[in-house]
Chains A and B, each alone.
Chain A
């Protein structure tokens, strides 16, 4: 028994280094100097941190140069995470991941709104749409969402498989087991937590995505990545950047045929649960913060059980989620999901504490949406790929994150549009809730571009009497604001589909396309 436990511990520990041995040897090939800290452990504390600092600073310099060259609108760059750059750099050794926020990896605004494709860095380098589909025909090649009904086209989206039906059976035990997971010996706490899982009318959107994504990535063969390391790293990234980029994958190989019911499948399903728990925890805390009266139809937890329990229940779910996360036995996934957790807080902070000028910026609105909504989805998608045996920097994992990023943004923008168009009873939360909180979302921002007199109101968060009324009138008067917002949602949905199309065709991939369609055509 001792042996088994110790073996396991040793194995866990050995697993990561083993992955990095390869990377280390490649590094040694590139430059002996750079690997010093990596290979000579005795002096780790000094040399490694120095060298990694040097590494990171070169990367940072590189990145900033890139940005300065590509755009001049970077002057406003909110960093909602209160960690100094040096600290961030120091805490990354050559073997830990350097996670870049997805909005620095993928395009956030269309070109006609000053958007641009970010420079290739770790995490978005592999975006070739052909490598994964060699020899496998794709009947949906070049699919445009606008060809489908509801978005201006004639084709029927129903030809694609129904995403919810597809995983309904697999998620069925899940609804029970998540309740089991949160059950504690403290009835009040579990009541508060269960409250959300039982009473919510949500469609378990996130677990569905994870489940479908898990099936979709099983259809792709994991890439090797070694070629890319030797050819790419010198020119673009400098030393060390690649060490982690081709790591992080769980050491498994699954195919669509043996995926169902496998260990990988189980872990991916668990990831879906974790994502839902994190999401619910953030909702619970948000409720306390926003003091929203209702959320998803049911009454908000904190109204039912007092603030105290709401804070605790949220903490409890987060703690459970971290414990379960550790049990996935993939440290890269732990790190990615922990970052997702931090992103949620970061988004909340941005929402509370943005400087007035930032409230007018489309970019900062999208960043906030990314932190609050998209980050969880896109990190979950990339983690699913990692659990499925794909390395962090692989084409598959990159496509997954890009899909999650754009889907999440599309989802949030659509949500914000519905905030103005749908009645309270349909959406499940009070209409104009965002405005009441002083937040300006896409439609208002576009209206403010058209009517400059809205700008001061946005900047003072609609605090003065009559601000809201004026803003609403301007919005309804404008012909373009709502359309522009809708187009932005469509743009992101299309980008999400583009990312999906880089994966080899499978039923679940096609279901995800239909899900994307659903996200921007939904009426509630």
Chain B
């Protein structure tokens, strides 16, 4: 159990490298690419190769496989030589079974044309890359995974397993290795393996997870793969295919940016917004129930004893026409139903959409085979899916309660935040502490937290209790990070900022989603997908908030414009602008925009630079990552609505 030990031994200290801004192409298709690499002192040895990199390659592969990110394809054509090499190697590595579809997948990864710059390589080399470049390095060894040599036939193994439903041990190590040493001549082979690793890990969760890409690829390479047979399928091992979930979730590894990204090109098989995948329509019934229940449970009608507290709580739940943006409960409810659809469909009972591959225009045969049932006319299944026999039988109620809890925790944090920030307004209404005083605001927050703890305890699942409790801890950490310190050098600042964002916003969404999956008793892949979805949407959400702080006006935002700047906080647009105007902006940041005219000057600088654009792009990348995560679930209107919800997060203007 060597990696386990390493994990425990590894301290919490991080050193950060990046972001590095590079021009990778002579034309302006790729203007720049950001790399954020976290090197965690000891723990990184396990964390970043096996988890982060293979995950990244998974993302890249799937994007390409779905025919999204046309820029990536274009970019890859610029290095034709390498593509040629890659395709040749790939072809030989897969013993001639790989068709051009695989090669396209390979070549369209962002990494071929992104060799690590020398400075980074030098910095990281000592600790990670050196070790990572050894194919038999202990890094790649899973906990109980007997190191398997890199097999060219592996591609066929996996493809065959997809047909025979035999779980397959993923080979994350190989993929990671090849990502980090992208110039190696074994690149193509490694890339192929990376793709198959993804398939492999999905193969092992075949029962519950849909893998459109794999099916996509199977479609492309199908005939040749099916023709190939292999007599020795590897035996099942218990290697965790999603080790990320064990780590501190701050894994902002690679965030690539391509400004010409086509907005909202839906992945294959996802129904459009109008076709029964509207998150608001789908969650309306649930949210109405939830509002009624919050109204009844927390606010009550006749609490003559403590009207002030009741009012304080009601203040938040009722402010605005829609009672604030209840994006968190909505997310939890939609995700719960999406997962339920997935688990139902594997039993062959419930609603599933048949998916049409937009990329090729053909119907996905594999999907059709496994999902016999069609759905009602407008695609909105009305009845709540029944829990499976292996699930707790009060699952829908429990998940609804969880959604309430997440909103309660959120509201409690707002109460306390208002006291801490001394903000005058929130969501366009006067802040609680302005109306009722500091004492009541603190108490109302405490009260909501205590209530949330009790409801949580009554869910009778200690793992969920722990997960949800972590949120509160993270909220506090985020708040402290915000008020004390910014990170030192400019490249650390962005990472520090993103990390703070996770604690303040992402953690609540991520852990609520994760808890919903835990309640359902789904396997780790689903739990991980839920977690990643919430986390990335949370990050995007906060980034968009920061943009709106600059763009929105008081009336549309409901929050005083430039509130962050006035509070002395440097958000993403400012930090990106600081890369353009390091000297002047750094001074402003250092004195927290405290002097007269500082705020105006900062706004000017942000507008002169591409800070807002880059922040929007970063948010967009996060949303793409979130969509990647949720695409791992079986197709269903609810899954699709989650995708639209994610897009709504970055489209919002208030």
User: A residues bordering B, Cβ < 8 Å?
Assistant: 1-3, 5-6, 9-10, 12-13, 16, 41-42, 44-45, 48-49, 78-80, 82-84, 86-87, 91-93, 95-96, 184-186, 188-189, 285, 288-289, 307-309, 311-312, 315-316, 318-320, 322-323, 325-331, 334-335, 338-339, 341-342, 344-346, 348-349, 352-353, 355
Q: Which 3 A-B pairs have the closest CB atoms?
A: A41-B393, A322-B469, A326-B466
Contact B465–A322 (Cβ < 8 Å): yes
Partner of B456, one of A5, A48, A328, A338: A338
**Is B397's CB under 8 angstroms from A342's CB?**
no
Contacts A44-B393, A91-B297, A353-B306 supplied; 18 other A-B pairs, CB < 8 Å: A5-B524, A16-B460, A41-B394, A45-B394, A82-B306, A87-B297, A91-B401, A96-B460, A186-B484, A188-B484, A285-B446, A316-B473, A331-B457, A335-B454, A335-B458, A345-B443, A346-B447, A352-B439
B472 interface residue per 8 A CB criterion: yes
Which residues of chain B come closer than 8 Å to A78, judged between CB atoms?
Answer: 305
Find out whether the CB atom of B144 lies under 8 angstroms from the CB atom of A1.
yes
Is the beta-carbon distance between B466 and A352 smaller than 8 angstroms?
Answer: no
Q: A6-B523, A186-B477, A326-B463 are in contact. Are A334 and B451 (CB under 8 A)?
A: no
Contact assessment for B473 and A323 in the assembled complex, using a CB-CB cutoff below 8 Å: yes
| Interfacial chain B residues near A82, Cβ < 8 Å | 298-300, 303, 305-306, 309-310, 313, 447
B249 to chain A: closest CB distance in Å?
15
* A338: contacting residue among B310, B419, B457, CB under 8 A: B457
Seen from chain B, the residues whose Cβ lies within 8 Å of a Cβ on chain A are: 4, 12, 142-144, 238-240, 293, 296-301, 303, 305-306, 308-310, 313, 384, 386-387, 392-394, 396-397, 401, 416, 419-420, 438-440, 442-443, 446-447, 449-451, 453-458, 460-463, 465-466, 469-473, 475-477, 479-481, 483-484, 518, 521, 523-524
A16 vs B443: C-alpha distance in the bound complex, in angstroms? 33
Q: Check if B305 sits within 8 Å of A84, measured CB to CB.
A: no
The reply to whether B296 and A87 form a contact with Cβ atoms under 8 Å apart is yes
**Do residues B393 and A42 form an inter-chain contact, with CB atoms below 8 A?**
yes
Is A312 within 8 A of B523, CB to CB? no
Which of A44, A185, A189, A348 lies at the interface centre, i.e. has the most chain B CB atoms within 10 A of its CB?
A44
* Assembly CA distance A49 to B396 (angstroms): 13
State how many angstroms separate the Cβ of B221 from the closest Cβ of chain A. Answer: 29
Contact yes or no, A41 B387, CB < 8 A? yes
Q: Is the interface of A mostly helix, strand, loop or mixed?
A: helix
A319 close to B469 (CB less than 8 A): yes
- Please classify the interface of chain B as helix (H, G, I), strand (E, B), loop, or mixed, using the class held by over half of its residues: helix
Given known pairs A12-B461, A318-B472, the reply for A84 and B238 (CB within 8 Å) is no
Question: CA A105 – CA B383 in complex, angstroms?
Answer: 43
Of all chain B residues, which has the CB nearest A353?
B306
| Complex Cα gap A84–B301 (Å) | 8
* B464 nearest CB neighbor, chain A only: A326
Given contacts A12-B463, A45-B397, A319-B476, A6 and B524 within 8 Å (CB-CB): yes
Q: Which residues of A contact B469 (CB under 8 A)?
A: 319, 322-323, 325-326
Closest CB in chain B relative to A274 CB, distance in Å: 11
Given B240, B394, B420, which contacts A312 in the complex, CB threshold below 8 Å? B420
Q: Are A326 and B465 in contact (CB under 8 A)?
A: yes
| Contact partner, A189, options B392, B480, B524, Cβ 8 Å | B480
Q: Is the CB of B460 within 8 A of A315?
A: no
Most A-side CB within 10 Å, residue of B4, B387, B476, B521: B476
Closest A residue to B314 using CB positions: A82
Mind listing 21 A-B residue pairs with CB under 8 Å? Answer: A2-B524, A44-B394, A80-B306, A84-B296, A87-B293, A91-B297, A91-B401, A92-B458, A186-B480, A309-B480, A311-B419, A315-B449, A315-B472, A319-B469, A319-B471, A322-B453, A325-B469, A338-B453, A342-B454, A345-B450, A353-B305
- Expressed in whole angstroms, the Cα–Cα distance for A312 and B475 within the complex equals 9
Interface centre among B446, B475, B477 (most CB of A within 10 A): B446
Residues of A within 8 A of B466 (CB): 323, 326-327
Chain B residues with CB under 8 A of A188: 480, 484
In chain A, what residue has the closest Cβ to B454?
Answer: A338
Chain B CB within 10 Å, residue with most, of A2, A10, A188, A189: A2
Residue numbers in A under 8 Å from B310 (CB-CB) = 82
| Shortest beta-carbon distance from B500 to chain A in Å | 11
Q: Is the CB of A79 within 8 A of B458?
A: no
State which of B144, B305, B419, B455 has its C-beta within 8 Å of the C-beta of A91: B455
Chain B residues positioned under 8 Å from A2 (CB to CB): 238-240, 523-524
Instruction: Establish whether residues B462 and A329, one from each chain, have CB atoms under 8 Å apart when the complex forms.
Output: yes
